[in-house]
Structure 1
């Protein structure tokens, strides 16, 4: 079906603004993980690795609010409320001289919340490998699901920001047994599309060019599944 019904209607239009809830500002410098977790928040996930080629062990955290809060959705004149535990992505560089961590990035929107009880938690994993930060999501229904998709985003630190250089989309339709894999290289502006079925290893491969005016960053790519990278297809 059409990109999992446009990724469950853009994850129920997950851009939200709160009534009383406000996101905290993460401190600029600290000595360890606990230093960057505000009161009322808890560590959801973390990973270490060198992100800026200085042979230091940088740190990426995902923290989650301990309590559930009600947020209001105002996208596209569609108003609803969701009960969720907000999340924050934190990227820290290690300073080899001071042995302290320095805040490089805080995103209050890129890590998807688990705000739909009929879906599995969309967040899957973060990892650092060869200087790249990879963030993985999965869209899957708990019961009577007809499809599932996985999205991975790969960021590289350049020009003092985290630039999205690649992304992968993999989907399977449990009814038709059809699969579709898309691999994007935003540096070359190429996409590889492979279509097939669960039963067969053989896939139909196509390559085409996409028109990217400007590379996305964590700051400008606010949230997964909201960028119409191709007509009718959202990353």
Structure 2
């Protein structure tokens, strides 16, 4: 491994994110607790999210639309305008959540800046991700920001073209094996997985990864040890 570019996922890699979605879903479940169990409601939201990905993509706005569709299904299209307004409020509150960096993130970026070209490679709402990067106070460490519509091999290949690099030049660091690691490994790049304590169901995989270009670490600070040993 001799990367020229180190790419970081953003949500749940640089800063906390998934707990905010968990909180939003809890609020939604409370609104419709008379219609179904929390487990059934969460399953319904997930089904709508996955079905809507080709149309809406990822992010809070897509999540909010999927909550509205779930509410329509739960109430047999009898939900009131006031009820829709409450769901929209949940979505708006998500878009205004504070950005809280994960431990050691800024220390690691300080060490890496100047030694490598640092990139953010994330997916979600373009405006929201740029807002979070601005509010995080770490935007100046990065040479390039990529907000991808998805993280398939094709999406990464397009990113390589914009960065004018090859897959073997990139080390991707993220909390999702499915989105941040596997596509990069399949293309010939390097991937480091740093798990977050909770993971969106869509991002989970049910098999172990064994690959010469793959490392699993417990926290982002260990990245410095790995790179120093190269």
Q: TM-score, normalised by structure 1?
A: 0.26
- As a proportion of its length, which structure holds more helix? 2
User: Whose relative contact order is higher, 1 or 2, with alpha carbons under 8 Å and at least 6 apart?
Assistant: 2
- As a proportion of its length, which structure holds more strand? 1
Q: TM-score, normalised by structure 2?
A: 0.27
